[in-house]
Amino acid sequence: MKKFFIFTTILFSSLLSFSQVGIGTTTPNASAVLDIVSTNKGLLPPRVGNVVAVTAPVAGLMVYDISQQCMRYYNGTIWSACMGGIVPPTFTCGDVITDIDGNSYSTVDINGQCWMTSDLKVSRYPNGDAIPYIDSDAAWVTLGANDTDDAYAFYGDSNSNGTVDIAHPDYGALYSYAAAIGDNWARDNNPNQGVCPDGWHLPSHAEWTTLTTSLGGIGVAGGKMKETGNSHWKTPNTDATNSSGFNGLPAGYQFSYGAGVFFDITETVVWWSRTASSASRAENRSLIFSEGAVKNSTIPYYKSYGFCVRCIKD
């Protein structure tokens, strides 16, 4: 601390005395207030989780935005887009992608659509904000069927100890609709992204329909989307071939009424669609162990249920 105080005192004294400071050089360039010279080190700017964390930014302020993985500056009114012109690696469907937490997901092309081959288990939104975690059945019941009561859970974790306990690591997390759409689309980075990683989004009702239609229709598509065998699915796992590579697993769901308990692991999986059917309900798709069909509820479920999220490429 004493050395830092001495350094800062010398630095600011130099600024006041000479209006120029050199670090790594005794002859700073005449056009620079601060001239830093090094052949093996760089300048490390402030790093923030997201620019929204910066209070009352001043014009010209520059930071490294961790959520976007790039430099950004404030022009006095808005934050800039990413600076630097870095070209990301070319993605080919079939490559592995990662979410903001570092979880990895394989991908598959199914008749022109690129899907993840497992369900999302991320704990943060694309902008870096944490998704509220609920490990109490009673607390989940208090969620409203709306676009803002966001929460997620892992199946079976209802011990109310405040920590994330994953009893079934092969399955993804269960999200309320509000969490799936990024808390009313306020915490994502791109249109329709919701809780999905950058470059991906929450599928619409129409995109789910395109998938099932391309697999022969809802009457047979489910078998082509289910993992085979009984390692996860309850017997008989009817018509399961997984010929599409979608690899659907029976993660069950979180009920939002009565006792608010978890239901039907090994028997069913339900995925959110981003398409709302009313203020309190949203479209979904589901698979069941005893049928080869894809279910599309005639009366969509309440938004306060906890369902899986499967993302599709932009």
* pLDDT the model gives residue 230: 97
- Give CA–CA dist 137/3, Å, rounded: 54
pLDDT of residue 9: 53
Residue-level pLDDT at 17: 52
Full pLDDT tens readout for the chain, 314 residues? 454 455 555 555 554 555 678 788 888 888 887 878 888 888 888 988 777 788 888 998 888 888 777 888 888 888 887 887 666 678 999 999 999 999 999 999 999 999 999 999 999 999 999 999 999 999 999 999 999 999 999 999 999 999 999 999 999 999 999 999 999 999 999 999 999 999 999 999 999 999 999 999 999 999 999 999 999 999 999 999 999 999 999 999 999 888 889 999 999 999 999 999 999 999 999 999 999 999 987 789 999 999 999 999 99
Q: Are 234 and 266 in contact (CB under 8 A)?
A: yes
Q: Which two tokens stand for residue 231?
A: 């390692």
Confidence at residue 86, expressed as pLDDT on a 0 to 100 scale: 66
- Collapsing DSSP states into helix, strand and coil, what is residue 173? coil
Tens of pLDDT along 265-290? 999 999 999 999 999 999 999 999 99
Sheet with 62-65, strands from edge to edge, namely 47-48, 62-65, 70-73
Residues in the chain: 314
CA contacts within 13 A on the Cβ side of 106: 8
**Residue 111 class from Cβ within 10 Å (0-12 exposed, 13-18 middle, 19+ buried)?**
exposed
Q: Would you state the pLDDT for residue 97?
A: 94
Q: What residues pair up with 175 in beta bridges, in sequence order?
A: 152, 307
Please tell me the pTM assigned to this model.
0.75
What are 76's two structure tokens? 């006095």
Alpha-carbon gap, residue 198 to 133, rounded angstroms: 22
- What pLDDT sits at residue 29? 83
Distance CA 66, CA 74 (A): 16
pLDDT one-digit tens code per residue, 250-269:
999 999 888 889 999 999 99
- Cα four-point dihedral sign 149, 168, 274, 95: positive
pLDDT of residue 73: 86
β-pairing, 21-23 vs 34-36, is: parallel
